Amino acid sequence: MNEVSRFYGGPGGLLATIGSALDAAGLDRATLRPADLAPVDEFHIRGRAASLEILEALALTSESQVLDLGSGLGGPARTLAELTGCTVTGVDLTAEFCEVATAFSDWTGLSERTRFLVRDATATGLPDATMDAALTVHVAMNISGKHALYAEAFRVLRPGGRFVAYDVLQGEGGAVHYPVPWANDSSTSFLATPEDMRELLPAAGFEVISEVDSSDESLVWFQQMRARIQRDGPPPVTFAAFLGDTFGQMAANQVANLAERRIRTVMYTCARPA
């Protein structure tokens, strides 16, 4: 896991880099809304649109206690908290991500509804059956022991609680083109297939409610992002803030991976039986 954390952690100074970029763009941190940060903190394919689909699938209320396993910079957590009034605990292995996520929540006025802990998503140390909902977004690709991740989600959920897993899966088109936004090479990339997921989730105890493949939409999303950047230039802050100079190659590879069906994006909505 240290290798994964190093990949995302970068050289440090991420918060200062992002803050400077926001200042240079004339964005007042005192009036930021979560959507303003989406180009950098919705660090998953299809961005905020996917977060809104997750929100709907989790069936949240203002009373819901939610766990985000592998919360990154906290984009989905803030989206859920802002739009439903729920309270979200995020856990992530990368300490700098938790630092930035905490600052972002402060900037957007959501500190009381979100918290971010440096923890292993497969062993959070949180109490049993205390969460109404849980999610994991583009995390399992870096975890070889996926059974532990889904078992942890099941453990922390109350009976009847919902769990959404939205991840990149291995497609039928062959080996992945690297680098990609989650790995420089195959040494830290562990993609499940859709068939694997159909076994892993029930094995953890979940009832699978739905399986939605968004691969075609994901390809269009990447193509539109690339065209928008070519036309208008990049947003003030993007994923390149922590992925560095290789982000352009990563994005190009993602277009090829999706177009050639080397990867798929799929969202599973599950429930812990009541």
Q: Which of 188, 82, 174 minimizes the C-alpha distance to 141? A: 188
pLDDT digits (tens, 9 = 90+) for 252-271: 899 999 999 999 999 999 99
Q: Which residues of 167-184 are buried (b: 16+ CB within 10 A; e: fewer)?
A: bbbbbeeeebbbbbbbbe
Per-residue model confidence (pLDDT) at position 49: 93
Q: Tokens representing 122?
A: 């497969």
- Length of the chain equals 274
CATH architecture of 2-167+183-217+265-271: 3-Layer(aba) Sandwich (3.40)
pLDDT digits (tens, 9 = 90+) for 90-128: 999 999 999 999 999 999 999 999 999 999 999 999 999
Domain boundary assignment for the chain: 2-167+183-217+265-271
State the pLDDT confidence band at 76, using cuts at 50, 70 and 90: very high
Amino acid 254 reads: Q
The pTM is what? Answer: 0.91
Mean pLDDT for all residues in the chain? 91
* Strands 157-170, 131-137: pairing kind: parallel
